[in-house]
A and B are shown apart, each in its own frame.
Chain A
Amino acid sequence: MTLAVLNIDWQTLTDAVALGAIYALMAVGIGLVFGVLRLVNFAYGQLVMAGAFALALASQWGWPVWAGIVLCFAVVLVLSLAMDRLVFRPLRSHSPAVMLVATFAVAFLLQSVAVLWFGSLGKIATSLAYLNRPVTISNVDIRKITIVAVIVALACLLALTALLERTTIGLHMRAASMDFQTARILGVRANRVIAVAVLLSGALAAVVAVMLTVQTPLVTPDFALRDTIIVLAGVVLGGMNRPVSATLGGFAIGFASGLLGGALPTDKSQYLPSFLFAAVILVLLVRPRGLFARKGAVERV
């Protein structure tokens, strides 16, 4: 069974959806922190990398899968909070450019810590490898991780939406991302809102770490680095100002890169990044505020 157009088969299509789903989660993670801190966290990929190393270590030590996942969450959450305390908080009053460069530094710092600790060859996380096996649905082979990724991403997004729309802390976070000063004047606690955003963003990074290690079991210090760069482009492409547009941007770029990867003829496939970033630049030139940004939304950077 094949889609006649562009020579894309169902396998490619489902993989593209799964990649889009994972990127959407990363986009939300980056977007949540941007919302409250106006800070583009370049080091987000290193959170994912740290989580992936936790999984790899757990599988090397022969821990059960659930314990590995718990360790992954613990490591990523602790690291997120540390990042907020040691870097984001002292920088809060600085310009967005300074904060962006600072997170760039943190990203390199964490990456070289990983090189120092684990070596540049990396480690292998095997505990969830069985999810790579395919299931056959009406003659189409789909890897289990594809289905898991889509379901987990949807569940995370639904839970997050419920939190933001239905709870008091969610209302406070939305208000803070629209106008932090006024929210504080109304009594919204800045530190609490930021801590919750950072923790949620970290939890999403841990989820992403689990799913990416299934797809790429070899965990190296530059794990998720490329993905982060692409997701960042996607988030800006979608529109940073609202979680929804950031998520859509993340999904769109994941889906597009998955699809392009399958649709490009083999001798052109190594140029995928060029096609992708050329498309990003073109879209930015046409819609600098993002594809899905609401009209009149102010960019404060």
Chain B
Amino acid sequence: MRRLIGLQELAGPMLLVVAAALLGTVVSISTQSYFTDALVKVAIVVALYVFIGNSGVLSFGHVSFVAVGAWTAGVLSVPAAEKPAIMPSLAHVLRDRTVGNLSSLALAALVGGICALIVALPLMRLSGLAAGIATFGVLEITHNLLRYEEKIGPGLNTFSSVPETTGLRQAALGALVVIVAAYAYGRSRLGRLLRATREDPAAARAAGVSVYRQRVTAFALSGLLAGLAGGLYVHLLPVNTESVYLDLTFITLAMLVIGGATSLWGAVVGALAVSALDSYLAVAENGTSFLGWQIDLPAGTRVIVVGALMAVVLILRPSGLTGGRELRLRWPW
């Protein structure tokens, strides 16, 4: 029975992702891109959840690993013939190598994970505000380096010419992989130990759990998943340093908090719900009609609505739409 409930915690998020993907296949091509984007957001938010949700420590730095993943997959995927035009100062090692879609995603995850591990080793000694500011520092440094270091990417330019392999199917599969990994980690001994440190760090320490080591593990894993999500992202649309910086940090944190930061179900629900609203508003900004009303919102309404929604949810339901709990259906028998 426990096993059944456990599988339900995995099946719920997965079914939701599949349902979103299926819905995406029946709409118009232009609308489909919103679904694809939403599924990539699910991957990013679930990656965030692996660390923030399980550890209870806030990180503003995770989009760094999305960026690193995007850069890795992007640089390695641009066709060799076009590299000199987009990235004239690229290092030789990178200039001569081009890999396929799947390898680029795997490498994005790997590099994301390694970077996260390197960052985690010193930073996970910190907690509270110091940790928050330090992870923010990581985001700043990553953004700054990617922006000006032209040996490893396009610098200020946008990643054009990356094969757009992230369609609905790849986005959904990617999101599912991240969800399964997050679920497996959460059910594992390591995940349970980390959650014990979230509930009561002192008691966990007294029981011999190394808070530091558990946090490092989770941070590295969530960096790896964020790297993968970054790879998916760069294959979805032309990315530049600004698209993997403050705005993405804000929207993904908002999704996690609105959904409910302490559960996988919350992460997925939050990502999809906010994406749906955000996409609808994006459409509405270009003019649309709703129940016969002509709606034509001024540009910029989206962020206002999402920001306001986030504030309202935080005030009324600080543990998110799902209450931060996993999906538990009551069986009729």
Task: Report yes or no: A278 in contact with B141, Cβ–Cβ below 8 A.
Answer: yes
Which chain B residues border A284 with CB–CB below 8 Å? 126, 130, 133-134
Query: A113-B304, A116-B300, A285-B126 are contacts. A102–B314 as well, Cβ < 8 Å?
Result: yes
Q: Are A271 and B148 closer than 8 Å at their CB atoms?
A: yes
Size category of the binding interface on chain B: 35 or more
Q: Which one of B130, B141, B148 lies within 8 Å of A288 (CB-CB)? A: B130
Check B141 against A277 for contact (C-beta < 8 Å). yes
Q: A105-B311, A274-B145, A285-B126 are in contact. Are A229 and B136 (CB under 8 A)?
A: yes
| A–B Cβ pairs within 8 angstroms, 27 of them | A40-B129, A40-B132, A87-B311, A91-B314, A96-B129, A97-B56, A97-B58, A101-B58, A102-B314, A105-B307, A105-B308, A108-B247, A108-B250, A108-B307, A109-B304, A109-B308, A115-B299, A116-B301, A116-B304, A233-B133, A271-B145, A274-B141, A277-B141, A280-B134, A284-B133, A288-B126, A299-B128
Task: Tell me whether A106 and B133 are in contact in the complex, defined as CB-CB below 8 angstroms, given that A97-B58, A101-B257, A274-B144 are known contacts.
Answer: no
Bound Cα distance A95, B318 (Å): 9
Q: Which residues of B contact A194 (CB under 8 A)?
A: none
User: How far, in angstroms, from A301 to B126 measured CA to CA in the complex?
Assistant: 12
Instruction: Tell me the bound Cα distance from A94 to B128 in angstroms.
Output: 15
How long is the Cα–Cα vector from A40 to B311 in the complex, in angstroms? 15
Flag if A278 contacts B137 (CB, 8 Å).
yes
Contact partners of B318 in chain A: CB under 8 A: 91, 94-95, 98
Other A-B contacts than A240-B129, A284-B134, A288-B125, 15 sampled, CB-CB below 8 A, are A40-B129, A96-B129, A102-B311, A102-B314, A108-B306, A109-B311, A111-B303, A112-B300, A115-B303, A229-B136, A274-B141, A274-B145, A278-B137, A278-B141, A284-B126
Q: Which 7 A-B pairs have the closest CB atoms?
A: A109-B307, A112-B303, A277-B137, A301-B128, A105-B310, A116-B300, A273-B144
Contact with B along A90-132 (1 / 0, CB 8 A): 1100111110111011101101110110000000000000000
Interface digits, A269-301 against B, CB 8 Å rule (1 contact, 0 not)?
011111001101100110011000000000101
Task: Determine whether B6 belongs to the interface, using a CB cutoff of 8 Å to chain A.
Answer: no
Determine if B303 and A108 form an interchain contact, defined as CB atoms under 8 angstroms apart.
Answer: yes
Bound state CA distance, A280 and B315, in angstroms? 32
- Nearest-neighbour CB distance to chain A for B212, whole angstroms, equals 13
Quick check: is A232 within 8 A (CB to CB) of the other chain?
yes
A-contact 0/1 string along B228-257, CB 8 Å cutoff: 000000000000000000110010011001
Q: Within residues 32 to 48 of chain A, which ones have a CB less than 8 A from any CB in chain B?
A: 40
Q: Residues of B contacting A100 with CB < 8 Å?
A: 58, 132
Chain B residues in 8 Å Cβ range of A116: 298-301, 304
Q: A109-B304, A115-B300, A233-B133 are in contact. Are A98 and B128 (CB under 8 A)?
A: no
Identify the closest chain B residue to A269 (Cβ): B148
> Is B140 at the interface (CB under 8 A from chain A)?
yes
Q: Identify which of B129, B130, B307 gathers the most chain A CB atoms within 10 Å of its CB.
A: B129
Provided the pairs A87-B315, A105-B254, A115-B300 are in contact, do residues A280 and B133 lie with their beta carbons within 8 angstroms? yes
- B126 contacts across to A, CB distance below 8 A: 284-285, 288
How distant is the Cα of A288 from the Cα of B130 in the complex, in angstroms? 6
Q: Give the distance in Å from the alpha carbon of A109 to the alpha carbon of B242 in the complex.
A: 18
- Whether a CB of chain B sits under 8 angstroms from the CB of A236 is yes
Determine how close the nearest CB of chain A comes to the CB of B10; give it in whole angstroms. 27
Residues on B with beta carbons closer than 8 Å to the beta carbon of A91 = 314-315, 318
Q: Collect the chain A residues with CB atoms within 8 Å of residue B301's CB.
A: 112, 116
Across-interface contacts of B306 in A (CB, < 8 A): 108
Give per-residue flags for A176-220: 1 if the beta carbon is below 8 A from chain B beta carbons, else 0. 000000000000000000000000000000000000000000000
B43 interface residue (CB < 8 Å to A): no
Distance in angstroms between the alpha carbons of A112 and B122 in the assembled complex: 35
Contact partner of B148 (CB less than 8 A), chosen from A106, A236, A270, is A270
Q: Which residues of A contact B123 (CB under 8 A)?
A: 281, 285
Shortest distance between the CB of B120 and any CB in chain A (Å):
12
Complex: how many Å from CA A210 to CA B250? 28
Q: How far is the CA of A98 from the CA of B56 in the complex (A)?
A: 11
Q: Indicate if B218 sits at the interface (CB-CB under 8 A).
A: no
- Interface residue? B47 (CB, 8 A): no
Is B175 part of the binding interface, using a Cβ–Cβ cutoff of 8 Å? no
Roughly how many angstroms separate A96 CA and B128 CA in the complex, as a whole number?
9
Minimal beta-carbon separation of B105 from chain A (angstroms)? 28
For B308, list chain A residues within 8 Å (CB).
Answer: 105, 109
Over the window 93-136 of chain B, the binary record of Cβ atoms lying under 8 Å from chain A Cβ atoms (1 yes, 0 no) is 00000000000000000000000000000110111111011101
A272 to B303, CA, bound (A): 30
CA A106 to CA B123, docked complex, whole Å: 27
Q: Is the CB of B134 within 8 A of A104?
A: no
Q: Are B144 and A271 interface neighbours, CB within 8 A?
A: yes
Nearest opposing residue in chain B for A226, CB measure: B140
- Once bound together, how far apart are the Cα atoms of A112 and B148, in whole Å? 27
Q: Quick check: B314 and A236 within 8 Å, CB to CB?
A: no
CB <8 Å contact, B137 and A281: yes
Q: Does B179 contact A (CB under 8 A)?
A: no
Identity of the chain B residue whose Cβ is nearest the Cβ of A99 in the assembled complex:
B314
| In the complex, B138 has a CB within 8 A of chain A | yes
- For window 276-331 of B, CB contacts with A under 8 Å fall at 298-304, 306-308, 310-311, 314-315, 318
- A-side contacts of B298, CB under 8 Å: 116
Against B, the Cβ 8 Å flags (1 = close, 0 = not) of A222-262 are: 00010001001100110010000000000000000000000
